[in-house]
A and B are shown apart, each in its own frame.
Chain A
């Protein structure tokens, strides 16, 4: 059965800290890995990673995929209170359509 696991499930840090969120996956016919940020109810897209070892960056956020280890990390540097959210990792399957398997999320709280 396909599954995506994230760790830690929750994390509290102080502003300015750097955090690393972990994601591991067991997804048959794996195509890509997705990261989303969820504040309140609607997740918003962060990254899609398809190739191993290529870092993607967006401001203070960066992510990389390791297809040998079936894992990915999401780094956030110089955290701000606005980074407080649930970060969802998802595996994308090569099916006739793109079926997405979501992990449980990491709840990040950044305190001043």
Chain B
């Protein structure tokens, strides 16, 4: 596609339920990032995927959070047993490494609300 696609755009879930967020990067972008942005705060790094290399999971806040990506395709971020503190916008970005830092493209995000 022309841009990074994220779904759903909005998700309201009950505390304790699991949610799955999806990111469809730009074709050919081997690098994919997940960020979290709480209301009024900056972007918080969660996880990074680069091709078939081991992902950098150092930003995942707890073991309730996990993410997967197969090759250079779609990524899913799963939050188990959601808590109200998980409410945030979850942004995905992909990058074409041949264009280095100019190549970041962000999706429009998923706004997660845990009630």
Q: Interface residues, chain A, CB within 8 Å of chain B?
A: 4, 6, 32, 34, 40-45, 48, 88, 90, 92, 97-105, 107
Contact = CB atoms under 8 A, between A and B. Distances in A.
Contact of B104 (A6, A45, A105): A45
Contacts of A105: 41-42
Chain A to chain B: the 3 pairs with minimum beta-carbon distance, closest first: A102-B43, A41-B109, A104-B42
Contacts of A42: 91, 106-109
Contacts of B31: 97
B30 to A, nearest CB: 10
B42 A103 contact: yes
Contacts of A107: 40
A32 B100 CA distance: 12
Contact of A48 (B41, B101, B111): B101
A97 B101 contact: no
A4 to B, nearest CB: 7
B83 interface: no
28 contacts: A4-B42, A6-B42, A32-B101, A40-B108, A41-B108, A41-B109, A42-B91, A42-B108, A44-B106, A45-B102, A45-B104, A48-B101, A48-B102, A88-B43, A90-B43, A97-B31, A98-B95, A99-B45, A99-B48, A99-B56, A100-B43, A100-B45, A102-B35, A102-B45, A104-B41, A105-B41, A105-B42, A107-B40
